[in-house]
Structure formats: C-alpha cells, structure tokens
Amino acid sequence: MTDDTEERPYRSHLRPACLHCRRRKSRCKIEAGSTVCLMCRVHNTDCEFPPLTSATPARIRKQNARRNSQQLQAARIGIKAEARTGSAAATAALGSAAGASEAGRGGDPGSGPPTEYTDPQGPATSSSSDTVHKPTSLLIEDEEGGNAHIIGPDVTRDSQVLADYLAMLHPSTGIMRVIKPQATSQAGPVIFARVKKQPLGMRFTGSPSAKKLKIVEKLLEPWTNQLVRLFFRKQNICLPLLDEQSFLRQLADANERVSPALICCIYAQSVAYWRADQELDGQRRPDPIFLWNMASEALFSELHQSPGISTVVALVINVGGRPTTSMLGNQVQLGSAVSLAHSLGLNRSPMNWEIAESEKGLRMRIWWALNITDGWSSLGYGTPPHLKRSHSDVPPPTLEYLNITEDSPQRDRDAAEVFMVLYSLTELLYRYLDQVYTLDKSSSPDTAGITQDLERWVESLSGNCRKIIIRGKELDTPGAANLRLAYLSLRLLTKRISLIGDKATPTATATAAATSPATSTAAFTADTRSQYLASRRVAEDIVMFAQELSAAQFSDFWQPVGAFTFSSTVTFLLRCALEIDAPATPAGASLSSSSSLRMAQDLLRALKHHREMFNWDIAEIALAQHTEVIDKLVNGLKPAELSEAGGGGLGEEQELVPPFSAGMAYDWPNDYFPESSFFNSFISLDNMFESGYI
C-alpha cells in the first residue's frame, strides 16, 4: 500500500489516533475513503476517534506552554482541589476495581462508557472549557486501566524531583501523581505511581465477575434492590464502608461502573439479615453458602485481573461474611486486602491532602473497617495480625469524619458512637495481641499494665456506650450487642494472659493428682487459684450475656469471629473443671457436680436455643465443637469406676471417659471430637494453650 492511499499517520496533529489504538499503543493507519483503521478492522472493534479541536497548531503550542508553566508551579507548591458535588469521587471508586473488563458487563472491554476522569497533568477531558486544573482523584482509573500505587517513603524525595521534571516535559503522560499536604502541615509529600492493573499479556474478552453477578441477581430477583437497602440498614451502619446515597445513586444511574464482585458480596451479606425484613421474612431464603461461593469466585477473579480500591471493600465484606465457611479462605482474603490497602496508600492519613473531602472519608472508612476486621480475626483464628499500628497515621473515627451532623437521625448517631468505641477497643486489642503472639519469652507479660489499660479505657467512656460496656444495657442500639461481646472476650483474654506463667503447674503435678486427688489442690498457690476464679467469673459473664439476648438482637450486626468467643469460653471452663474442680472432687464422685462444667453446659444450652429458634449462625461453631464433649463429661463414669477397671484394662465405653484426676496431663481420645463436627475445620483459641501463646 503506497503513502498516497493512506491518511496522516499516528501522532498526526490533524488526525489523532483512534481510542483503541491509543490504548494498544499501536500505529493507527486509515485507508483513503475508509472510516475504520487497519488495527480496529483486524481486532473487529469499533473505531472511535476523539473529537477534533478547532484550534490551530500555533494556538495549541501556546496553550501547551501556558499549561506547562502552570503545572510546574502547581507541582512545586501544591494546588487547592475544588470540592466535588456530592460524593462523586467516592462513587467513582466503586467502578475502578473491575477495570476495562467491567466497562460493559459481558461486552467488549473498551465498549463501556468512559470513566469520569481528570488528566493528572492537564485540564479535564470531559470539559474543554474548564480552565481550572483539578488534582486527579486517586480512586479513578485512567483510560488505559492504570491504578495508583504508593511510592515508599525512602524514595519519595527522589521521585518528587523526577515527577516535577516529567510534568514540565510531558504534561499529558501522568506517570506520577504527587499529593502534597497543605501549607500548615509538617508532613512530607506522598507520591503515587501509575501501574497497570491487569496482568501482562492478558486479553480481556469479558468479565468473569460480571457473569457471576448475573447468576446471583437471577437467583435473588425481584429482591435485589431491597437487599442492598437492607445491607445499609443493618451492616453498613455498624461497620461503615460506603456512602449510602452516592452508592445507590450510582447503582441506579451507572451500575455498569460498579464492581460486580462488590455487589455480589453485598448481596451475600444481606441474606444474613433476611428475617429482619418483614417483606422478605415471608419469602423463601436463598442458600447463603451458594451465594458466598459465587461472591468469592467473582472476587478472586477480580483480584487477579483488575484489583482496585473497591476490591478492598469487597474483601472486607467477604471476610466478615456470615456464616463463616472457610477459615483459610478468609485469612487469604484478609492478607490480600491488607497488602492491596498498603499499595493504594490507605494506611496514610489523607487529612492534609489536596483531594476531595468525599475521597478522604472513603479512604479512612475502609482503613478503619480493615483494622477492626484484622484485629478480631487475629484473636478468633489464632494467627498474628497483619497490621502494625506504627505503620499507619490515619486518625481515629469521629462523628465529623463519619458525616454525622446535628440533623442526622438519632439511630445513625448512636450507631456511629458504637463504631467509634469498637475501633478504640480494637486499638487496645492490638496491644494485647503483641503479648499473645510474641515469641520472645525472656520477659514475662506485663499483666498489671494490661489490666490497667482496660480499666482506663472503660473509665474514658460515657453515655450509652458506658452502659453497654459496664452493665450490658442499651443492647438494642445497632452494633451494641456485638460491642458488648467483643469487650467480654477482651476481658477474658486479659485473664488468660495472666495465667501464662501458671499453665505448666497442673502437668507437673499430674502424678500427685492421680494418686491423691483430694489434696492435689495444694499444687496451686492461693494466688493462682484466685486468678482462676476471677477468670471464671469473666467466663460466667459471657454465659449470662448469651442467656439474656433478646429476639431483636439476633438480627443485629455481629462479627462472625464472635463465634470463637463462645467456643473459647467453653474450652476455658473445661480447663477450670479439670484443673480446679476435678482435683478437689472426692474419690468416687462424678465431675458432673463441677460448677465450671455446669456453666459450660448452660452456655451450650442457650446457644442451641438461639440456633433453633432464630437460626443464629454465631452459635454454630461452639455447638459443633463441644456439644458431644460436654455430654460425655456430664454423663461420664465416676473416677472410682475407672480405678476398678484396672488401668489399661478399660472397656470400650470406659475408654471414652477421661481420668479427671490426671488434670491437664490427659490426652483427649479421638472419640471426643467426631469427624463430622467442625473441630477439624475451625480452630478455636484453646489451641493456643498447647502452642505456648496463652
């Protein structure tokens, strides 16, 4: 083909390249008389060109020179961002994770509507008449599917020099994005580099997460909109992640720009509150396990193909999903959420950044929810936390940051106050987790300091939150019952930390306990025994809390890891029964008279009632792990009958009954933990006894 049959080549000022060739970075050649370039004809895509400008080349050069000087000055001293109307920046984040593959669900990657985008080094492309240079939102992907990735503080100054130079030479590239604090701040600049979201060499022909979403929506029709509103009324009000008005507005006007994986997770989580809605209560409830499997598949595909800030939101919702279906899967997702959050700079305080207020609020809300999820998951799963407090400078939540004003409904204000107290309790939890998971046993834990920290925290509370913590009142407030359970679990943790130095005593005196059970209590000092009794009183508070729950509170917000609190409470009561009650039991007496064992039985009885009457999934793990164990201990043979069996000559039934006088030296038989239970799937806090953590 000769040159006289072709239009002007790629990079021509009179004939710019088409949009698809610009994304592919390929030469855009058009035959004479044709409206489709050669590359678009080969790829069978629509050939669309940007609108032509009426400016002459000379005028363009003048505009570029003026723009270069303005941008260089802005890069050096920082510029003030114009406030966006409503929450445009926050809503735009919801469409950034699915990348090019979600632009048209199931369609061509480039056929979807363009993302609202402001060029980082030039005027907004959506309005040629806009002469104000706005800073680019970190939440909005560019037209080539790029994503903002934070640059480490060790090379920030070097990168800033390079960014200033590139801004002067190539104003339209947008290679780096410099976020500079306000003049009154002492903080240094934060720099983000543009990175590709999609894996290298992967061609998108459709969105797998969008296909999963279609299946989920088909299953939930016609209740999809109602489930979204239920999510904000029950879940998001207690663990605020999204702005309700902006999300619902974008879901109605431009739902193709919202992450399909995020919507799947919202649907799956809303099903946990199905019975709380009067209209839905009379309808058939979909299988939540199937919905979570669909949501997880959509989330993993999005995490692999085009992760973004909405992926972090979806991961937090998925990890906190009810019921808990996979401990390992949740831990993998939680690690991914933490890693992605650090990459996006969510651990840095945006308060002094020149970005929209709505974007600041969204970034902080995600980080707060991620902190709460990571801390309590660490306590429940028995694994060290992913986050370090010293690696973040995000301020704690306040009513102002949560957009609570004097005109806000009282229910929203009460829920926000509960969330703020839960976050402060989580910060205290991280201090305790340092004691629990440290491998340096050279120094004993500061038990007195830990107890005083919790007491000072309680004294700092006021209003309804103080009643919730101290007296267990006002539990009808959204999130209050979950806060009360979290506080009790932290109290129990402080008591168990105080017993770290005494955990080896029962095993060392196992022989003496077996020969003289009535006098084996001497193995414990008076101080140690009082510590056990104080710890048991905390466990008794958890038992009474479970017994006093009302019907309305079962449909409230609960963290799924709260289920491990009940499981670990039963295990601790069994420990007290074997270490404190069993040695003091007279020879020939049954352990069924143990007060610790009766408490454990009362807790399981209450949880069983809640599970049967209200379908409360939080009770499942403790029931699956300990129901059969408690029944066998209560109905077990007496120690005298064990001695008559003659040591190793135990019968088949007697083999299942533990020699209580041996204390912690007893090795539990496999029959106590049947293969059909959740014991092999969910590991509660009691395993930390043997691993040396508690």
Express each pLDDT in 214-271 by its tens digit.
999 999 999 999 999 999 999 999 999 999 988 998 888 878 888 999 999 999 999 9
The residue among 52 and 17 whose pLDDT is bigger is 17
Torsion (CA) 238, 243, 245, 246 in degrees, nearest 10: -160
Phi, psi of 27 (to 5 degrees): -70, 135
Residue 435 lies in a domain: yes
- Residue 107: pLDDT over 50: no
- Cα–chain-centroid distance for residue 312? 8
pLDDT of the residue at 581: 75
- Residue 90: pLDDT over 60: no
175 plus 290 within the same structural domain? no
Of the candidates 357, 390, 423, which is a domain's last residue? 390
Of the candidates 475, 494, 513, which is a domain's last residue? 494
CB 540 within 8 A of CB 603: no
pLDDT of the residue at 570: 95
93 plus 188 within the same structural domain? yes
- What percentage of the chain exceeds 70 in pLDDT? 61
CB 635 within 8 A of CB 592: yes
Residues 689, 500: Cα–Cα separation, whole Å: 9
CB 482 within 8 A of CB 562: yes
Amino acid at 624: A
427 plus 308 within the same structural domain? no
SS3 236: helix
Residue 247 lies in a domain: yes
The residue among 79 and 476 whose pLDDT is bigger is 476
Question: Which tokens sit at 351?
Answer: 């308060």
Query: What does pLDDT average to over the chain?
Result: 73
Residue closest to 134 by CA, chosen among 101, 197, 88, 170: 88
pLDDT band (50, 70, 90) for residue 501: low
pLDDT band (50, 70, 90) for residue 196: low
Residues 85, 63: Cα–Cα separation, whole Å: 28
Lowest mean pLDDT among 370-379, 482-491, 530-539: 530-539
- What percentage of the chain exceeds 90 in pLDDT? 37
pLDDT of the residue at 69: 54
188 plus 241 within the same structural domain? no
| Top-ranked range on mean pLDDT: pick from 436-450, 557-571, 671-685 | 557-571
Structural domain boundaries, residue 37 = 3-43
The full 3-state SS of 257-306, as one line of letters, equals: HCCHHHHHHHHHHHHHHHHHCHHHHCCCCCCHHHHHHHHHHHHHHHHHHC
Of the candidates 449, 466, 494, which is a domain's last residue? 494
416 plus 353 within the same structural domain? no
Lowest mean pLDDT among 8-17, 337-346, 396-405, 677-686: 677-686
Residue 48 lies in a domain: no
69 plus 123 within the same structural domain? yes
- What's the mean pLDDT in 407-432? 95
Residue matched to tokens 């890693």: 339
402 plus 448 within the same structural domain? yes
- What's the mean pLDDT in 7-11? 47
Lowest mean pLDDT among 51-55, 189-193, 276-280, 520-524: 520-524
Q: For the range 270-278, what are the long-range contacts, defined as Cβ-Cβ under 8 Å and sequence gap of 24 or more?
A: 270/227, 270/228, 270/230, 270/231, 270/234, 270/235, 271/227, 272/321, 272/322, 272/323, 272/617, 273/230, 273/231, 273/234, 273/235, 273/555, 275/555, 275/614, 275/615, 276/230, 276/234, 276/555, 277/226, 277/230
pLDDT of the residue at 361: 92
The residue among 505 and 298 whose pLDDT is bigger is 298
Residue 201 lies in a domain: no
Residue 50 lies in a domain: no
Residue 52 lies in a domain: no
The residue among 122 and 348 whose pLDDT is bigger is 348
Report how many domains make up the chain.
Answer: 5
The DSSP element (H or E) to which 539 belongs, if any, is helix 526-547
Residues 471, 495: Cα–Cα separation, whole Å: 19
pLDDT of the residue at 204: 58
239 plus 127 within the same structural domain? no
- What's the mean pLDDT in 155-165? 61
Residues 360, 383: Cα–Cα separation, whole Å: 31
pLDDT of the residue at 661: 31
pLDDT of the residue at 266: 96
Residues 385, 176: Cα–Cα separation, whole Å: 32
- What's the mean pLDDT in 109-129? 33
Q: Strand locations in 137-181, DSSP E?
A: 146-150, 176-179
582 plus 665 within the same structural domain? yes
Residue 66 lies in a domain: yes
pLDDT band (50, 70, 90) for residue 496: confident
- Cα–chain-centroid distance for residue 660? 42
175 plus 271 within the same structural domain? no
Residue closest to 135 by CA, chosen among 189, 61, 214: 189
The residue among 361 and 66 whose pLDDT is bigger is 361
85 plus 160 within the same structural domain? yes
Span 569-581, pLDDT tens digits = 999 999 888 888 7
- Residue 598: pLDDT over 70: yes
Residue 505 lies in a domain: yes
381 plus 402 within the same structural domain? no
- Residue 668: pLDDT over 50: no
Spatial neighbors of 346 by CB under 8 A, at least 6 apart, are 309, 312, 363, 366, 367, 370, 394
- Residue 428: pLDDT over 70: yes
